[in-house]
Structure 1
Amino acid sequence: MDEFRDGLSFAFEDATKEIRAKWKEFNQHSGILESLQGFIAAVDWSEPWLISLLACEALLLVSLIAFRKQTRLQGTVMVTAGAIVYCAEYINRFLGDHWQSFARQPYFDPHGIFISAVVSAPLMLATFIALVNYLVAVSQALVAMKRKELRYNLRQRAKQEEGSGQGKKHQ
C-alpha cells in the first residue's frame, strides 16, 4: 500500500511540476486581455467597409433572433455562414492582395487573424444561434407530436371502452 501511495505522490508531484512550468511559460507571454486590447487598438474601426461589415453581422444576429421560428431562414443562414467560414482562407488571400482598393491599411495577414476575428467568429456565433433555434423548434415539434399522440391514444381507448361497454349491454 505504501508503494502505491509513494507512486501516486510521485506522479502528482511530476504533474504539478509540469503544470508550474507551463504556467510560467504562459505568464511570460502577453495575456489574452493584452492581446485583445492590442488588436482593438491596431484596427481603424472608422473605415466605411468595416462599419458596413459589422453592421451586416449585427443585423444578421438580430434577424436570427427575431425570426427564430423561420426554420428555412435559419437553415439558409447556417449553410451560407458555414460556406463563408469554410472559404475564409481564400477570401483572406484575395482581400490581402486587393486591400488598397477599399482599406487604409493591410488587415489581411497570412495567418488570417483579422478575418477570423472580424468575419469568421461572428458567423460562427450566428451558426450557433441558428443551431440553437433549430433545436428549440425540433423539441417544440416533438412535444406537440407527443401530445397529439397521447390525445389519439386516449380517444382510441375511449372508443374501445365504449365498444366493449355496449357489447356487454347487448348480451
Structure 2
Amino acid sequence: MPQMSGTLDGLSAAVDEVFRDIREKFREASKEAKIWESLQAFAAAIDWTEPWIIGLLACHLLLLVLVLVFRKSWNLNLVIMVSAAGVVYNAQRINTYLGENCKAFARQPYFDEQGIFISALVSAPLLLIMLVQLVSYLILTSQMLVEMKVKEIKYKARQRARQEKQHAQESKKDS
C-alpha cells in the first residue's frame, strides 16, 4: 500500500506540473495573440455603408437563402456550388483586377496584395455557403439511402410473400 500511495503522489505531481505548463502557455499565447482586437480593427477599417459592400453582403445572404430554400434542387445547387468555387478559385485574380480598378466604385483601397479583404468578405462567406450545401447534400443523401433501404425491404417482403404463395399453390395441386 505505501508503494501505491507513492505512485499516486508522483502521478498527481506530474498532472499538476502539466496543468501548470498548460496554464502558462495559455497566458503567453493570450499576451501575443490578440485575435479579437485584430478582427475589431479590420471591421472598423471597412466603410459598411458603401453600396457595393452592402450589395456584396446581400448577394451572400441571397445565395444562402437560395441554398436553404431550394436544398432539394440538385441542379440549382450545383450551379451555385460551381460558381462559388470558381469565384474562390479565382479570388487572387479578382483581387488584382479590383485593386487596379477600385477607384471606380470604392471610396477606399480595400484590395491589398495579400488579399485579406477579398478572403474575408468574398471567399469566406462563399466557403461557408458551400459547407452548408455539403451538409445539406449529406442529409439528403442519408434520407435517400433510408428510403431506398425501406423500398428494398418492402420489395424483398413482397418477393418472399409471392414465393410462399406459389409454394402454397403448388402444395394444393400436389395434394
Give the TM-score, by structure 1 length.
0.86
Aligned mates of 1:16, 1:82 — CA distance in 2: 45
- Counterparts in 2 of 1:1-171, with a 5 A limit? 13=17, 17=21, 19=22, 22-29=25-32, 31-171=34-174
Aligned pairs, how many? Answer: 170
Q: Check whether the contact 1:74–1:134 (CA below 8 A) recurs between aligned residues.
A: no
Amino acid across the alignment from 2:132: I
Aligned mates of 1:30, 1:12 — CA distance in 2: 26
Structure 2: tracts of 5 or more residues without a match? none
Tell me which of the two structures has the higher relative contact order, counting C-alpha pairs closer than 8 angstroms and 6 or more residues apart: 1
- The 1:153–1:67 alpha-carbon spacing in structure 2 relative to 1, beyond 3 Å, is same
Deviation digits for residues 67-104 of structure 1, max 9, x if unmatched?
Answer: 11101111221111111111111211221122111100
Q: Check whether the contact 1:74–1:133 (CA below 8 A) recurs between aligned residues.
A: no
Aligned mates of 1:150, 1:25 — CA distance in 2: 60
Q: Check whether the contact 1:96–1:106 (CA below 8 A) recurs between aligned residues.
A: yes
Structure 1: tracts of 5 or more residues without a match? none
Shift of 1:11: 10
Q: Check whether the contact 1:57–1:122 (CA below 8 A) recurs between aligned residues.
A: yes
Shift of 1:16: 5.8
Q: Compute the RMSD of aligned alpha carbons.
A: 2.4
Q: Check whether the contact 1:77–1:130 (CA below 8 A) recurs between aligned residues.
A: no
Shift of 1:49: 0.9
